[in-house]
Amino acid sequence: MVRRALLLCLAALVLAAPALASEERPTLADLEDEIICPTCHTVLALSSSPIADRMRQFIRARIAAGDTKSEIKEKLVAQFGEEVLAAPPKKGFNLIAWVLPFAGIALAGAVVGMLAWRWTKAGRRGAGTAGGDSGPSRLRELDPELERRLDEELARFDG
């Protein structure tokens, strides 16, 4: 157990370094997928509008000036509003956008689990009473006259 916890901590430290480096030295490609063009409402990487070109120039200038990813995003939000972010911030009313999908998945799982439980419970209840006996359900034998007629009808279709 202790070994697993140590491995988990080591993995967190190893993965934290690239994330920190991305924050300190962002590239244009890092930010293009996280910023939305205010005119065409697509991510900056896919937009070819004049405002998107100016935003790219602004981002390049801020990267050259040594700004972090968060600082660049804050400046863009100050200029264009929160709508410029591809993902809403995880605070305030926008927190609903982050929580609602997970809550919906949990609710759907609970409903499916409850229905499956009720279905198996009903199946067990019905298996014990099928055929009028408490043992496994058996096929009932046909009336001899009905069986003879059935054989005749099947013979007509085979021949």
Q: What is the DSSP letter of 141?
A: P
Q: Hey, where are the domains in the chain?
A: 21-87, 97-158
For residues 57 and 80, what is the distance between their CA atoms, to the nearest angstrom?
15
Topology (CATH) of 21-87: Helicase, Ruva Protein; domain 3 (1.10.8)
Backbone dihedral angles phi then psi of residue 31, each to the nearest 5 degrees: -90, -25
Buried b (16+ CB within 10 A) or exposed e, 106-123: eeeeeeeeeeeeeeeeee
Percent of the chain predicted with pLDDT > 90 = 28
Segment (H or E) for 148: helix 144-158
Interval 69-116: pLDDT, tens: 999 999 999 998 888 888 776 677 767 877 888 999 999 999 999 999
Is the pTM of the predicted complex or chain greater than 0.85?
no
